[in-house]
Amino acid sequence: MADAAVSLRGVRKLFGSAAAVDGIDLDAQQGEFLTLLGPSGCGKTTTLNMIAGFLHPDAGSIHLAGRKVDDLPPFRRDIGLVFQDYALFPHMTVAENVAFGLRMRRVDKAEIAKRVAAALDLVKLTGLDDRRPLAMSGGQRQRVALARALVINPKVLLLDEPLSNLDLKLRETMRLEITEVQRRTGVTTILVTHDQGEALVMSDRIAVMNRGRIEQVADARTIYERPATRFVAQFIGNMNLLDVVAVGPGGGTTCAVRFGAQTLTVAAPQKLEAEQHVLLAFRPERSTLLARPKDDAALELAGTVRQHVYLGTRTEVHVKLTNGASCVVELANDRGGTPPAIGSAVTVRIDAADCTAYPTESCG
């Protein structure tokens, strides 16, 4: 097997006595776009800083393109780094900013000019060579930062929350642009973000981090549709959680669970104990509303409509269940259909295939 472009083995970092990164293993393949996604304080930025060489792991090791880099300072690692605040050199022009990394590598002048022009072309900033970063918009600055990081042909491109300082519309455009530039250059890329939308749109694979550990590494679809842990299930998108009882010991693949008089077999990625309370998770948009129960293989929950939340393309219907719990059903706003009136009795129906059971205590 070819060496991974980036490879982390048992990497740990302590701040004081607390582990910011608590022993993670992670591989990014050549040309892959990998995202570290997680809430603030989950250790994703610390991980990035260790790959960049700004922090030294307390345990474990990091390889870039098959080479152990633990003892290499940042300036010998051949990485491209894009910061949230752009970090452009204010006393240099755009061209000088982009040329900086090449100048440090003692590339000759003519070659620098050629590569700077190509890099500015790549990020659609042709002709802005002589501008000062301060005279540019946030989006333009971020493109300069991207060009500056890419022009050195780094072994890996690290993006540290690169879009957080931009407004919503621009952020959505830049997501696609960065993804396109990455595809075209084929540079192995690691993105750090807390924005799940960004992660879902941009990544080949997503590593969801929580409390210094990686909870799941998978492509966007798997992360969203088959979250491996309760944390992932709750962190990505909206999720209904229902208290049910595991019928028999199970887990790893599937497990039978009981809710009231209904029993059904659902996915269960983690181990579950018999007769223990477990959490049944299902997505609002995979649930439907019925006027009365059908009594077949699906899970059916009786309740009353409490609230409508109109979201343009969809409407959220909040339902209070007869056992006191509540859940949300998301209905597409296609022509004609109106959600059941507030106060009306309904049945929430979810296919067993759209349910996943998790241990109650697994939020860590």
Partner 1 sequence: MRTRNIPWAMLRGTVVLLYLFILVPIVITVSVSFNAVNQSKFPPLGFSLRWWADAMSARWLQPLAFSIELGLVAAVLSMLLGMPLAFALVRHRFPGRDALTTLALGPLALPALVTGIGLLQFIHAAGLGFLFGFPTLLIGHVLICLPFSVRTTAISLRAMPPNLELAALSLGATPSTVLREITLPLVKSGVFAGGVFAFIHSFTDYSISLFLSRPGTQPITITILSFLEYGFAPTLAAVAALTLVVPLVLIAIVQRVFRIGDFLYAENARG
Instruction: Using alpha carbons, list the distances in angstroms from residue 187 to 12, 38, 150, 194, 326.
Output: 26, 23, 8, 22, 46
* Using rule CB under 8 A, residue 105 touches partner 1: yes
Token readout for 210 is: 């929580």
* Using rule CB under 8 A, residue 135 touches partner 1: no
Token readout for 301 is: 């929950």
- Spell out the alpha helix ranges (H) of the chain: 44-52, 94-104, 109-122, 138-150, 168-185, 196-202, 220-225, 230-235
* Using rule CB under 8 A, residue 15 touches partner 1: no
* Using rule CB under 8 A, residue 52 touches partner 1: yes
* Using rule CB under 8 A, residue 143 touches partner 1: no
* Using rule CB under 8 A, residue 78 touches partner 1: yes
Listed residue (276, 278, 199, 281) closest to 239, CA to CA:
281
The answer to whether the Cα torsion of 49, 51, 52, 58 is positive or negative is positive
* Using rule CB under 8 A, residue 174 touches partner 1: no
The stretch near partner 1 (CB under 8 A) out of 29-37, 73-81, 184-192, 201-209 is: 73-81
The stretch near partner 1 (CB under 8 A) out of 7-15, 98-106, 213-221, 302-310 is: 98-106
Q: What is the full DSSP assignment across 177-246?
A: HHHHHHHHHT--EEEEES-HHHHHHH-SEEEEEETTEEEEEE-HHHHHHS-SSHHHHHHSS--EEEEEEE
* Using rule CB under 8 A, residue 16 touches partner 1: no
* Using rule CB under 8 A, residue 138 touches partner 1: no
* Using rule CB under 8 A, residue 152 touches partner 1: yes
Give the number of residues in contact with partner 1, rule: CB under 8 A: 31
* Using rule CB under 8 A, residue 134 touches partner 1: yes
Choosing from 54, 260, 345, 361, the residue that interacts with partner 1 (CB under 8 A) is 54
**Cα–Cα dist 108/302, whole Å:** 74
* Using rule CB under 8 A, residue 128 touches partner 1: no
Q: Which residues would be at the binding site for partner 1 (CB under 8 A)?
A: 52-54, 73-81, 83, 85-91, 100-101, 104-105, 133-134, 145, 148-149, 152, 158
